[in-house]
Structure 1
Amino acid sequence: MTRPSVPAFSTAPVAAIACGVAAVLTALSGRYGYHRDELYFRVAGEHLAWGYVDQPPLTPLLARISITVFGDTPMGLRVVSSVSAAITVVVVALIAREFGSERRAQILAATCTALAGFVLGTGHMVSTATYDLLAWMVIGLFAVRLLRTGDGRWWIALGLTAGVALENKYLVVLPLAALLIAVLAIGPREILKTWWLPAGIALAAVIAAPNLVWQATHDWPQLTVAGGISEDDGTENRIMFVPLQLAQLSPFLVPVWVAGFLRLWRTPALRWARPVALAYPVLCVIVFAAGGKSYYALPLLLVLVAAGCQPTVDWLHRGRPAVRRAVLAVGAVLTAITSAAFTLPVLPASAVNLVLPVNQEQGEQIGWPELTESVAKVWQQIPAAERERAVLFAGNYGQAGALAKYGPEHGLPQVYSGHMSFADWSVPSDDHTGPVVLVLQNRSPQYEAHFGTCTEAATVDNRQGVDNEEQGAHILVCTATTRPWSSLWPDLRRYY
């Protein structure tokens, strides 16, 4: 079978749009402050390893590189994320080209990606989802090229990308599984009948092996973390799955990706691409059944957006072109406004509560220096003679990360925590028999029982009225631990 060729790529306009995204993200990257996950990645980058209890090593490694090169600030930390988002814009335009989209449609695909809320939100800060999105897009590009050309050598590129992606997040197996199911169901099955496929699988396995070995030798803690998250959030994730599929890219992009699905499914010339269309609903079923987060399926929507830009451009030239162009322009403006408001730090910090029902991550970037100041005031209340034996203990990795970052300038000692990989990085000596300054989101008599008599000394106030997870957190002073730290530590470890 003769496979279709592709149009020329609109290099300069697409590159300009990508550079614009990078510039906007960089300009806004210093507002608000670190996200709780970024504070965790920052410390994880100081303890480089082949794995952590809740993730593979790539994101902490990239955080370490970005800080080393660009500085230990929110802006410095986020440079690599901004670049990743810009590359994602280019890759989606390349996917549009693979579907036979001409230059204007490629530019529209880049523009839609640049305005998509999920792309801007993950590009603004460091998260595993940031690099996962780029990996999914590259995998999508190589998979589409494999389907279009029938050249089995693209399995090597897929294996290489999948292996690197597995060193960041295991979710990459989901789109690959969905695409495989779609190919088995409707073809073209001949792309599976090649030795390049097992070669690609072997390459992915070799690249992913160091982290998989780490997980195996540590009793697969990431499965424990994933199980706890699913148990806690699974019902809510299922309830919100469909609404968030419509909202998280942008409601204004829904007609574009619907057009993309219909184009891939109905167009005879794109019959080879039908598995790409089917992969999205298959992936949705998998994620919904597992109780996964809605954003797990969003990257494949960007592939459908890429497919839908050519019919959107064609639509502009039918009927009343001027009216249709005005409608598209209004949609683009509304997409830009809503995406920026809900995913980027453009509002005053005091107004962030307005967007928290849709994007809680905005609030998690506010209040960490204030939390540290409050803890420092309580620490100073401990008699100087007792501080050498006292311990500063944080209930979660966000608190611990903030105290690790801002604590030294307030005279705070090393912070300890039993949450996630903080539990592996350091344990208080049994010689620390003095008071414990304990920071908790919510008071728990069962948890506090490990620390003897606890008295509340202060509560956290971010001074902006932002209703985030740490607002109103409790700072306690406890007399001591009920057992030596070495004996107590397994009971203090938390995986979620």
Structure 2
Amino acid sequence: MTKQNKLIIAFFCIIKLTLHLIADYHSGFQGDELLHIETGKHLAFGYMEFPPLIGVLAFIQNIFNSNSLYIHHLFSHISCILIVIYVAKITIELGGKNKALFLTLLCIIIAPAFGRTQQLFQPVVFGQLFWTLGFYQLVRYTKYLDQKYLTYLTFFALIGFLFKYDILFFIFGLSSLFFFKRTRETILKQNIVLHIAIALLIVSPNIYWQYVNNFPVLQMFSRLYETQLDKISRIDNLKNLILAANPISLILIFPAIFYMFKSNKAELYKPLAFSITLSFLLLIFYNGKSYYFFPIILTILPFGAIFWEQKVIQNHKWVMFPVTFLLFLGSILISFGMPVYTFNHYLHSIYKYEKKDIIGGKYGVKYDEYYTQEKWKKTMSELKKVFDSLPENEKQNCEIWGKHYAQAGAVNLFGKEYNLPKAFSYHGSYYSWTPGGEMPNTAIALSYQVGEFFNPYFEKVTLVKSIYNPYADNEEELYQRIYICKNPKQNFEKMKDLFKHRIFE
């Protein structure tokens, strides 16, 4: 790697990190992040919705005993920088030089796809990271046919599996190595038994956890298809993917698809091209969400950048300027992927392109992290008023039931400042962490609009507060309701039994 290569990579790393830190300043926690943060207090070999390693990172972040967004985005930001570095290294390994490097990394910066998904503390960014690391080792193995790169590839793919299960699509794509004599013969000479043993050793604790818990991840995917994926057409998914990748980036993506198969570096490029294609086709077959395809975009961009550098710009240097100018124009879409503007500025500019008309709502803001700083402050203040209104003898054993895991997570992250009791929930992974023994005589329940949801479980349920959210993008979340619930009809063990088939509702 040349000095100029390093300077280009360092420049884009600084730009990338700066954008994410600005977005942190302008936003709050997204709902799912509150669940992921809680996993650090309950380390296990698996969770209801995702693999276990997110919990390890949450545990490390929780050591700081902070509710700061900067602290809880620490590993997300490290990962997004590593993604930039390793996509750059992929570009160089494929034969790209300074101009290809510049174009590739510029496309990452301007893509809304790599804003929000690499901003939040979610398994998504770590899935992208290990897909990228795995693809980098795949490039090196295809190029050098060295056994150590196959070992690294195995390791990174399996660690990626323990962050996010959709890396199975990448692993499926690796079967392309058997399509080509050069890579097939080399693989068959390797110690395949050793690699299988490594794979089983790494994933077996999580597989066993899933088995013992009746494979909740399959229940979750079933629910996901029922409520979301079956309602999205494949054409709509591809449209969303193009918008997320930034339509201007198509000037790299389209030639990349051609160049992967038609390059004069067939021995190196074709196994990689088939790997990407197989992963893509399997994702299309299963109609995965558009963000499942984002790692594929990361692996395609270098080919398009190299095409421009070697086939066009090398002979017509002036072409670099209009191509770069067009890509810079695409930077206008950065604000659609992360809150680089203040919320007030967003409402008066970007919002009009994304708004949803909600009956009873004033706005319909697409992403909740834009406004959750204020949302959770208001929620905690109202919960404190309700808790303080209880008689002293009822306060002592009182607990808060968060209907949604994000509500329980918010109470457990922010509630200490307000002297609130801990929260429990039967939603998602919180189901595994519910307390045992007798339920308290008095509980405070927090929910969105769920009607008489709590009535079957207590003798008396009283609605005491309704918190209006003018920014909700669906009718259910327009109001948060606070209830005082007294005289439970069952203990915690019975509650867990009642909810064992309702974990993802």
TM-score by length of 1: 0.88
Matched, 1:258 2:254: yes
Paired residue type of 1:456: L
Paired residue type of 2:10: A
Q: Which residue of 1 aligns with 2:359?
A: none
Q: Distance in 1 between matches of 2:97 and 2:262?
A: 19
Q: Calculate the aligned-residue CA RMSD, in Å.
A: 2.9
SS at match of 2:435: coil
Paired residue type of 1:229: L
Q: Distance in 2 between matches of 1:447 and 1:227?
A: 26
Paired residue type of 1:360: Y
SS at match of 1:46: coil
Q: Distance in 2 between matches of 1:14 and 1:319?
A: 25
SS at match of 2:197: helix
Describe how 1:229-378 pairs up with structure 2 within 5 A: 229-239=224-234, 240-314=236-310, 317=313, 322=318, 324-348=319-343, 351=347, 353-354=351-352, 355=354, 360=367, 362-363=369-370, 365-366=372-373, 367-378=375-386
Q: 1:69 to 1:104 in 2, by over 3 A?
A: farther
How far is 1:41 from its partner? 1.9
How far is 1:167 from its partner? 2.0
Paired residue type of 2:40: G
Paired residue type of 1:332: L
How far is 1:393 from its partner? 0.5
Q: Distance in 2 between matches of 1:21 and 1:446?
A: 44
Q: 1:34 to 1:291 in 2, by over 3 A?
A: same
Q: Distance in 2 between matches of 1:64 and 1:75?
A: 15
SS at match of 1:374: helix
SS at match of 2:487: coil
Describe how 1:84-483 pairs up with structure 2 within 5 A: 84-180=79-175, 182-185=176-179, 188-239=183-234, 240-314=236-310, 317=313, 322=318, 324-348=319-343, 351=347, 353-354=351-352, 355=354, 360=367, 362-363=369-370, 365-366=372-373, 367-427=375-435, 429-430=437-438, 432-434=440-442, 436-445=443-452, 448-462=455-469, 465-467=471-473, 470-483=477-490
Match of 2:498 among 488, 491, 496: 491
Q: 1:356 to 1:315 in 2, by over 3 A?
A: farther
Paired residue type of 1:115: I
Q: Which residue of 2 aligns with 1:3?
A: none
Q: 1:174 to 1:383 in 2, by over 3 A?
A: same
Q: 1:72 to 1:360 in 2, by over 3 A?
A: closer
Q: 1:345 to 1:483 in 2, by over 3 A?
A: farther
Q: 1:191 to 1:237 in 2, by over 3 A?
A: farther
Q: Distance in 1 between matches of 2:4 and 2:263?
A: 22
SS at match of 2:444: strand
**Unmatched 5+ residue regions in structure 1?**
1-5
Q: 1:200 to 1:327 in 2, by over 3 A?
A: same
How far is 1:364 from its partner? 7.2
Deviation track 1:191-243 (CA, whole Å, cap 9, x = no partner) reads 43232444333223222233223223333222222222222212234453111
CA contact (8 A) 2:173 2:275 kept: yes
Q: Distance in 1 between matches of 2:280 and 2:454?
A: 38
Q: Distance in 2 between matches of 1:12 and 1:69?
A: 33
Paired residue type of 2:251: P
Paired residue type of 1:293: K
Q: Distance in 2 between matches of 1:369 and 1:60?
A: 25
CA contact (8 A) 1:343 1:362 kept: no
Q: Distance in 1 between matches of 2:398 and 2:65?
A: 35
Q: Distance in 2 between matches of 1:356 and 1:177?
A: 38
CA contact (8 A) 1:228 1:495 kept: no
CA contact (8 A) 1:356 1:363 kept: no
Q: Distance in 1 between matches of 2:61 and 2:439?
A: 37
Q: 1:431 to 1:103 in 2, by over 3 A?
A: closer
Range with bigger deviation, 269-278 or 389-398: 269-278
How far is 1:51 from its partner? 1.9
CA contact (8 A) 2:73 2:119 kept: yes
Identity across the alignment (%) = 20
Q: 1:28 to 1:294 in 2, by over 3 A?
A: closer
Match of 2:70 among 60, 72, 75: 75
Deviation track 1:404-448 (CA, whole Å, cap 9, x = no partner) reads 1222222321111111222222326415123x3222223144664
Paired residue type of 1:262: F
Q: Distance in 2 between matches of 1:98 and 1:170?
A: 27
CA contact (8 A) 1:230 1:290 kept: no
CA contact (8 A) 2:30 2:372 kept: yes
Q: Distance in 1 between matches of 2:289 and 2:101?
A: 29
**Runs of at least 4 residues off by over 6 Å:** 6-9
Deviation track 1:169-195 (CA, whole Å, cap 9, x = no partner) reads 222121110231x34456653343232
Deviation track 1:369-390 (CA, whole Å, cap 9, x = no partner) reads 2222222233334344433354
How far is 1:128 from its partner? 0.2
SS at match of 1:248: helix
CA contact (8 A) 1:7 1:102 kept: no
Paired residue type of 2:143: R
CA contact (8 A) 2:248 2:326 kept: yes
Q: 1:13 to 1:272 in 2, by over 3 A?
A: closer
Number of equivalenced pairs: 487
How far is 1:255 from its partner? 2.2
**Unmatched 5+ residue regions in structure 2?**
357-364
Q: Distance in 1 between matches of 2:279 and 2:366?
A: 23
Paired residue type of 1:99: L
CA contact (8 A) 1:442 1:474 kept: yes
SS at match of 1:495: coil
Paired residue type of 1:305: L
SS at match of 1:176: helix
CA contact (8 A) 1:440 1:474 kept: yes
CA contact (8 A) 1:112 1:253 kept: yes
Paired residue type of 1:260: A
